[in-house]
Structure 1
């Protein structure tokens, strides 16, 4: 199984399917609580996907409660449950990675990433990751190495997959300007950006540091998925696990914002020229 297979996406799809089946059965949450003698909290966690590893027996009970008798439908839902119980590679790094974010990223077909203050994580070289991790007051060398290892693993899984996603990166040049006192890191990072830009599935644009732009509200990532039943997600980075927006209007608003950022940035070919000039 590909390491980009995502139990997170399957869990969200399972939640959507369970809600649909409950509505088709014309049952409220209270009706289901009464029929199953479960707590409302347990049912709510299963429907919302908060329950990380739902039991197949629990899902079978809900299918019985909703009167779902079609064999193919039942097996499809139970298979979703089984798939959602798998553990992604990122579980080994849950101390330094947002499992939910990487879970969505793992199966995305298209990713749009805006970064305000740092080079996008998928484009960082180890020396850069180490530097910014130390800047974030992580001092223990083992903790720093752990972050670097997780970043390298995330990049390898993403870019060495036979079918990697299309990714469009836009970031503020200030992320590179701040490296001028670390020339070796700057050279390595720019070389990596130039190499990455040669990949036909990767687009990189830089917003010049002296240019005003509409992205000062903070970084965000828009993720689209290959299966149309999986709605797009916007991830907003916070000091904790981040915020996830799925409403169509919210996603559309961030798509418009990303379009404006692309217009504010240098064109991809101009970005390459600018990067090469920075190494002279």
Structure 2
């Protein structure tokens, strides 16, 4: 029976692109790297393009051939190779989780930090279950009620990264104030509970929330929402861009660097953390009257 083709998961793509960068930094060609491993050139190309897998021990040998000495680089890339084909908890929801969404959850589970600019909605990692159901139901065009419920469950399960042992995910979320004035006709308490959730989660040392006011100066965020996902070790950041058809990803330093710069300018235009939380508290109090 022929071998099944390797699925180019986003973990394999990140690993391949990082190995390519390290090879180039070492001044080696594909043939040079392949020779160091006892391979033929095409196999090295397939590894770098995520068309072939590579074992952690082989990653170790490659890094040595590239002259890498940093133990953090070894650990990060060996772990990435080990986890490249791993099935995550979200596979249980494969009937409703698209491949692009599964890629994002994998990114989030590997990440060290997420910086999100969200002008229209509260970010998924900070949503209550009720808010998630409402917005998923409103955004999706062809989902059955049970699928909407399942997707809301996925969104809640993702939030485990905020309290994972040892290295909880750092989140810096900037939300436009307009998103905090959303109204839900069927269940009016939804927004009050969501505002309370923002105040509660902002007490975590790894979560920072800012609000963009209506009278803010013009900033790069006017172009649209984005999420910048950062990782430990040498692997580059990834940017997620969402639309009605799902998400697209930018994975190279050249493509992601402008978003990191843009996020800094958006952060500078937003209210301070203290003023942001005070505004959220005022809005939450207003819902009680």
Answer whether TM exceeds 0.5 for this pair. Answer: yes
- Per the alignment, residue 149 of structure 1 pairs with 153
* Aligned position for 1:96: 97
1:189-235 deviations in Å (ceiling 9; x for gaps):
000000011111111001124545421221111122221x2122222
Tell me if the contact between 1:133 and 1:147 (Cα under 8 Å) persists in the aligned partners.
Answer: yes
Structure 1 residues 80, 102: CA separation in 2 closer, same or farther (over 3 Å shift)? closer
User: SS at 2:122's partner residue?
Assistant: coil
Distance 1:43 1:10 in 2: 13
Task: Go from structure 1 to structure 2 and tell me whether the alpha carbon gap of 1:92 and 1:253 turns closer, same or farther (over 3 Å shift).
Answer: same
Pairing 1:107-256 to 2, within 5 Å after superposition? 107-136=110-139, 137-179=141-183, 181=185, 182-209=187-214, 211=216, 213-214=218-219, 215-227=221-233, 229-238=234-243, 239-247=245-253, 249-256=254-261
Q: For structure 2, which runs of at least 5 residues remain unmatched after alignment?
A: 1-8, 66-73
Contact 1:11 1:80 in 2 (8 A): no
CA distance in 2, matches of 1:235, 1:18: 22
Note the residue ranges of structure 1 that are not aligned, 5 or more in a row. Answer: 1-6, 69-74
Q: Is the 8 A contact 1:9 1:230 kept in 2?
A: no
Structure 2 length-normalised TM: 0.73
Q: Take 1:193 and 1:216, find their aligned partners in 2: how far apart are those partners?
A: 23
| Map of 2:49 onto structure 1 | 48
Equivalent pair of 1:19/1:47 in contact (CA under 8 Å)? no
> 1:146/1:23 Cα in 2 relative to 1: closer, same or farther (>3 Å)?
same
CA distance in 1, matches of 2:105, 2:282: 34
Q: Is the 8 A contact 1:14 1:81 kept in 2?
A: no
Residue 107 to residue 178, structure 1, CA distance change in 2 (3 Å): same
Counterpart in the other structure of 1:86: 86
Is the Cα–Cα contact under 8 Å of residues 22 and 28 in structure 1 kept in the other structure?
no
1:277 aligns with 2:278: no
Distance 1:50 1:157 in 2: 29
> How far does the alpha carbon of each residue in 1:113-157 deviate from its partner, in whole angstroms, 9 at most, with x for none?
111211101001111111111112355111111111100110124
Deviations 1:221-259 (A, max 9, x none): 1122221x2122222223333122322x43332122111
Q: State the Cα distance separating 1:96 from its structure 2 match.
A: 2.4
Alignment partners' CA distance in 1, 2:93 and 2:279 = 35
Q: Equivalent of 1:13, from 12, 15, 31? A: 15
Task: Note the 1:252-267 alignment, pairs <5 A.
Answer: 252-267=257-272
1:58-91 deviation line (CA, Å, top 9, x unaligned): x97xx89xxx7xxxxxx99888644322222233
CA spacing shift, 1:240–1:186, aligned 2, 3 Å: closer
